[in-house]
Structure 1
Amino acid sequence: MRFDHLGATPRIHPDAVVATPAVVSGEVTIGAGCQVLHGAVITAEGGPITLGENVVVMENAVIRASAVNPVHIGSHVLVGPMASVSGAVVGDEVFLATGTRVFNGARVGDRTEVRINAVVHLRTVLPPESVVPIGWVAVGDPVQVLAPDRHEEIWAAQKDLDFLGYVFGLDRDTPDLMVQLTERYGAALARHRDDRPLD
């Protein structure tokens, strides 16, 4: 299903295939030979999304751009089932396995593998031909790739990246943090109220 969002209409190459139950919303460009499978959601929340050629977006994957962080995915990329890419740049010939998470401001270099359930954190830069092992966390610039049981080291690197400030413009010490976060984010997402279905 395609939607006009904030006055922008998806542009899908005639050689691309988008499954009927997938959602493509807003300023999205999908290149030749792309395959977007059942349940995938590609939503431009105020910033553009570009998929190069021959990108495969598997079932229930989510690709989301924001006004601050557009998404660019290069050519010959596989975005696995239930993977999530938010406001990131992904190079060519990248494999994002099932359940991976790539966060706002991240850059994933060409020919990189992010394996099952691995995380590429906020503003992290993975050089070309990197590997993030199953369930591990890549964090920072320069990047550290850490096992999930090294939480204190992950948090030490992640804290300075300031997820709440960078993504939501909020300070972690705000007394009513979740009240402000949900109200702000909810108001931004409510802009979908005026979306117009195109299919």
Structure 2
Amino acid sequence: MLIEHAGKSPQVDPSAWVAPDATICGDVTVGPGARVMHGARIVGEGGGTITIGQYCIVMENAVVRASPRHPCSIGDHCLIGPNAHVTGAVLGAQVFVATGAAIFHGAQVGAGSEIRVHAIVHLRTRLEAGAMVPIGWVAVGDPAKILSPDRHDEIWAVQKPLNFPEWVYGLDRNTPDLMVEVTRRLSGALAGHAHDRRTET
């Protein structure tokens, strides 16, 4: 289903196909030959833009999101696997994002890269073209360090200064009652969906 949000309606090329139970909401452009499969959710929050290139495949139950601070762009011939999450990131052409993988705000994934099953590309991380993040591993930093999940202290040493709360929510990590402030702010931003309007199925 296509939904107008924040005054913006999705633009889907006539040669693309969107499953009837998928949702495309807001300022989203879907290119020629693209396929958005069953249960997928593509949401441009608050006017955030999403561009999906030609012949991209967004598989079942994948989530692609953007916000005004963090637009999202997926290059031509990319495959976003089932249950994968791509939020506010830029993916070059021919990127493979496997089942359950996650790519976060401000990440840049070079053309031809592979993000394998349940792998993570953290916020503000830059992967060179042709990079590979192994199954369950974590890419973090600019340029990326690719580390196994058991190396949490090393991951955190790079991740902490990337400052997720400030980068995503505009809040200092030391804000008193941080989660109270995050959820209040996010609730306010998401309230705009009360005015969404279905434009077509």
Specify if TM > 0.5. Answer: yes
What pairs up with 1:124-135 in 2 under 5 angstroms? 124-135=125-136
What pairs up with 1:33-112 in 2 under 5 angstroms? 33-45=33-45, 46-112=47-113
Q: Percent identity?
A: 55
Deviations 1:79-132 (A, max 9, x none): 000000000000000100000100000000000000000000000000000000
Query: d(CA) in 2 for partners of 1:172 and 1:109?
Result: 29
Query: d(CA) in 1 for partners of 2:22 and 2:199?
Result: 13
User: Which amino acid in the other structure matches residue 17 of structure 2?
Assistant: V
Deviations 1:30-52 (A, max 9, x none): 00000000110000012110011
Aligned to 1:114: 115
Shift of 1:76: 0.5
User: Which amino acid in the other structure matches residue 32 of structure 1?
Assistant: P
Alignment size in residue pairs: 199
Structure 1 runs (4+) greater than 3 angstroms displaced: none
Aligned to 2:124: 123
User: Which amino acid in the other structure matches residue 27 of structure 1?
Assistant: D
User: Which amino acid in the other structure matches residue 31 of structure 1?
Assistant: G
Query: d(CA) in 2 for partners of 1:142 and 1:79?
Result: 23
Aligned to 2:160: 159
Query: d(CA) in 2 for partners of 1:56 and 1:142?
Result: 27
Aligned to 1:19: 19
Which sections of structure 1, spanning at least 5 residues, go unmatched?
none
Deviations 1:167-192 (A, max 9, x none): 01111212211111001001101110
**SS of residue paired to 1:160:** helix
User: Which amino acid in the other structure matches residue 97 of structure 1?
Assistant: A
User: Which amino acid in the other structure matches residue 36 of structure 2?
Assistant: V
Deviations 1:135-187 (A, max 9, x none): 00000001100000000000000001000010011112122111110010011
**Scaled by the length of structure 1, what TM-score is found?**
0.99
Query: d(CA) in 2 for partners of 1:27 and 1:142?
Result: 30
CA root-mean-square deviation: 0.6
Query: d(CA) in 2 for partners of 1:173 and 1:69?
Result: 22
User: Which amino acid in the other structure matches residue 134 of structure 1?
Assistant: I
Aligned to 1:6: 6
**Scaled by the length of structure 2, what TM-score is found?**
0.98
Query: d(CA) in 2 for partners of 1:54 and 1:133?
Result: 25
